[in-house]
Amino acid sequence: FKRAATYRIAKLRVNEALRRRDAASRRAALDEALALLAKLPKPSEVGGPEGRALTDAVGRLALAEADEARRQSLTALSGIPGITVKRARRELRGAKKRLRTAVERYEAELEALRGVSSGTPDGDRRGDLRLRLAQARLLAARLDNELASTYASGSDEAEKLNRAAAERLGELYQKYSKWVVGLYAHLYDGRCDRQLGEHALAAGCFESRVSQPASTPELSRLVTLANAELVALRLATNDVAVAVEDGEAWLDTLEGSQREGAEAATLRSWVGIDKHRLAAGDGLNDSARKRLLRSARELLGEAARTPSEVQAPARDAWAAAPALLGIESADLVRLDKVEVDD
């Protein structure tokens, strides 16, 4: 039990690291937890107190490493000094390795718990581990898609990674289609298809998710992100007016905290970018064009201030809007306090 307590201390170190705002301090604390776990012997019984404590610590560290790698990647792609794309790739690959270790621990303990009765402590533990296993598998597949984003669009490496991610996400959707994690797998599968230029496949994924009931806050976030992906797809297929109309219609349904999250910011960003495209088209008088650009700039400004996966392109498009409106850059409100996605 003393050794089990040491594993629990390692998990607490990870939780402490996640509360640190400074990236270097957070990284150092995660490395400390990793070093602590590496020094401890592997328990002989995977289902005993020590084994369970190790599984919990390894799983928490894997999720933290994945979150940190995503931050590093988004920082690098945003052009913020301090993180190179090469380093971001290394972090993403390292995080995927940690997730594989966590998956192995989950699978081993689940095997040890095979046949336990539901409603018992062991049954509850098995249910929790099944969910954690599904989430770790989903995140590992997503990291391939995020790794693909660090390579030039259309490059062999980006296509290879996206195809691998799409295949795995499709498998996860089939396995977990009745769970929320499975619905997210379907959504991210569609994102890979969109980035691969396979628009019909992507549309099928997004439209399925957009049409589902948003009966809980979690499902509402999922549907909001699906709407964002559908708007992005319609930009690629030149259905821009429809994209703007549908995207704004969903934004109007969001209330309270739903309007403040990363999913809503992602949707605002894509609607703003689509309005830019509409404003550049033919058949608009100067007044209508400027209305579109002002609306786009407002949406993009909100998106640029909110941590999300599209924060960087939102900032770029926001910065480009003033010139199109004839506004001098010196008159702009600066986005100095923008934070990178957490």
Q: What is the tens place of the pLDDT at every residue in 251-295?
A: 999 888 888 888 999 999 999 988 888 887 777 888 888 888 889
pTM of the shown model:
0.85
Helix, strand, coil shares of the chain, percent, nearest 5, are 75, 0, 25
- For residue 3, what pLDDT is reported? 66
Residue tagged 């209508």 (tokens) = 288
- For residue 332, what pLDDT is reported? 36
Residues of the chain with pLDDT under 50: 327-342
- For residue 78, what pLDDT is reported? 67
Exposed / middle / buried, residue 317 (Cβ in 10 Å: 0-12, 13-18, 19+):
buried
- In the 8-state DSSP scheme, what is residue 309? T
- For residue 324, what pLDDT is reported? 55
**Cα(236)–Cα(338) distance, integer angstroms:** 28
**Cα(297)–Cα(272) distance, integer angstroms:** 7
Q: Percentage of residues in the chain with pLDDT exceeding 70?
A: 91
- For residue 341, what pLDDT is reported? 42
Chain centroid, CA 129 distance in Å: 22
Residue 169 near residue 192, CB atoms below 8 Å: yes
- For residue 222, what pLDDT is reported? 95
Token digits of residue 24: 């270097």
